[in-house]
Amino acid sequence: MNKNVFLFVFTILFAGVASAQEVRIEGHQVVAADSTWTVPAGTTILFGPNASVEVLGGLDFQGQTDNPVRITSGDLANGTGLGFLINGQSTANINLSGVIVTDLQTPFRFDPFWYRPQAHSPTLASTKTTRNTSATHPSLV
């Protein structure tokens, strides 16, 4: 297990103990090809400046309309987070239900050669906020 995968797993486990509702992402983290990162409704994921998550496996974000998973940059004064890179081929699925994304450079980027048996994003909203304007995109950005 490489250092980044271990750190990512430790961060998620520690955040689960410290506060079941918040996960902080720093640096470049990886979801391994043989795993799925499950995030329950009501969780907030905070990306540090230039932080990213490379997804070689699966994502299962279980937000709901009245209790979404929120993903944002946690330290706008020092820069925005990069976002998720869906990469490689895996048998794990991508489920992005009830997700609201704000202030990430590239919230979800899909590598041209990615493959998953199923990718589902019924209620994903992404907003990039700047000082003077705001735009909302109800689909993957």
22: which strand partners? Answer: 44
Q: Look at residue 136 in the predicted model and tell me its pLDDT.
A: 41
Structure-derived torsion over alpha carbons of residues 40, 93, 13, 9, reported in degrees to the nearest 10: -160
Evaluate whether 11 touches 23 at the Cβ level (below 8 Å). yes
Q: How far, rounded to the nearest angstrom, does the alpha carbon of residue 46 sit from its chain's CA centroid?
A: 9
- Would you kindly state where each structural domain of the chain is located, as residue ranges? 3-137
Q: Look at residue 140 in the predicted model and tell me its pLDDT.
A: 40
Q: Look at residue 95 in the predicted model and tell me its pLDDT.
A: 96
Q: Kindly report, residue by residue over 22-41, the tens digit of the pLDDT.
A: 999 999 999 999 999 999 99
Of residues 41 and 11, which shows the higher confidence score?
A: 41
Q: Look at residue 20 in the predicted model and tell me its pLDDT.
A: 54
For residue 131, is pLDDT > 50? no
Q: Look at residue 123 in the predicted model and tell me its pLDDT.
A: 83
For residue 69, is pLDDT > 70? yes
